[in-house]
Structure 1
Amino acid sequence: MALSREEREQFLAEPHVAALSVDAGDGRAPLTVPVWYQYAPGGDIWIHTGKGSRKHQLIEKAGRFTLMIDRVEPTVRYASVEGPVVSTVPSTREHLVEISTRYMPAEKVDGYVEFSEKNHGEAVIITLRPERWVSSDLGAF
C-alpha cells in the first residue's frame, strides 16, 4: 500500500540511514552509499559530506540525486525521494552538531564533532528539493 503524503514525510523525518544514489558517469552504475540526512515534513532535505569527495563531485555534476530509506520493523516500509540540488554551501559546526544529534546518543555528540572537525576536513551541505516520491508499507511478515 502506497504511503500518503503525510505518512511518507513523517517516515522520512525519522532518523533512518538513507542510501544515496547519484549518476556515476559513462559506463558506471550509479554510486550508492549510506548517508545521514536531515529533513522536516514539507521542507527540503540536506546531507553533510566532504568537500571535493567523489560523492560531492558526482552530485555537483548530475545536479540531482536520490535517497532511499527503509525499515523492516514493525512493518516493511520504504520511501524513495528524488529531486534537484537547490544549494550547496559550506558546512558549519552547527550543521555538524545538528546532524550528529539526530543520529547519535547525546553523550557522544561532542566527541564525534571534535573528531570530525579534526579528521574529516572541510565539508559541504547539499540540499535536495523533493520532486518525485515512491513509497510503500508492505505490512508485517
Structure 2
Amino acid sequence: MALSQEERETFLAEPHVAALSVDAGEDGQRAPLTVPVWYQYTPGGDVWIMTGRDSRKARLIAKSGRFALMVDRTEPTIRYVSVEGTVEETVPATREQLTEMAARYLPAEKVAPYVDFAWEDHGPQVVIRMRPRRWLSSDLGSV
C-alpha cells in the first residue's frame, strides 16, 4: 500500500542509511553507481548528503544534475521510500554540518571523536542538496 505524503516524508526523515544511485554516464556500458550514504532530511525540505569534493559520486552527481535515494526497513513492517530529484546546490561542507550528520547516526559519545577524525582524514567535503521531485513508497505490512 502506498504511503501518504506525510507518512513518506516522516519515514524519510528517520535516520536510515540510504542507497544513493546516480547515472554512471558511460554510454550504457555501466549500471548506475549505487552506494550507501548517510543523509539529512526535514519534511517539506531538500535532502542533503555530504561526500568527498573529488569523489566519483560527487563528479557523477555534478555531471547528471540529479540522483536518487532509497531507504527501507523490514521491521515492524516492510516499508520503503524512494526519492529522486534535481541538485539545487553543491557547497563546501562545514564542520557543523558534519557534526549534525554524525549526531543523526551515531551515539552521542561517539560524535565528537568521529567528527575530529573525519574532518582531518576525509579531505575536503561538499554538501549536495537535492529537491525531491518524484517519490515511490510502500508499506507491505508484516508479510
Task: Please say if 1:4 is aligned against 2:9.
Answer: no
Matched letter for residue 21 of structure 1: S
Q: CA RMSD in A?
A: 0.4
1:28 Cα offset (Å): 1.0
State the alpha-carbon separation in 1 of the partners of residues 39 and 19 from structure 2.
10
TM-score, with structure 2 as normaliser: 0.98
Task: Say how many residue pairs are matched.
Answer: 141
- 3-state SS of paired residue (2:132): coil
Segments of 5+ residues of structure 1 without an aligned counterpart are none
State the alpha-carbon separation in 2 of the partners of residues 124 and 108 from structure 1.
22
Equivalent residue for 2:127, pick from 111, 125, 131: 125
Aligned to 1:77: 79
TM-score, with structure 1 as normaliser: 0.99
Alignment of 1:13-52 (within 5 A): 13-25=13-25, 26=27, 27-52=29-54
After superposing on structure 2, the runs of 4+ consecutive aligned residues of structure 1 that deviate more than 6 Å are: none
Alignment of 1:62-141 (within 5 A): 62-141=64-143
Segments of 5+ residues of structure 2 without an aligned counterpart are none
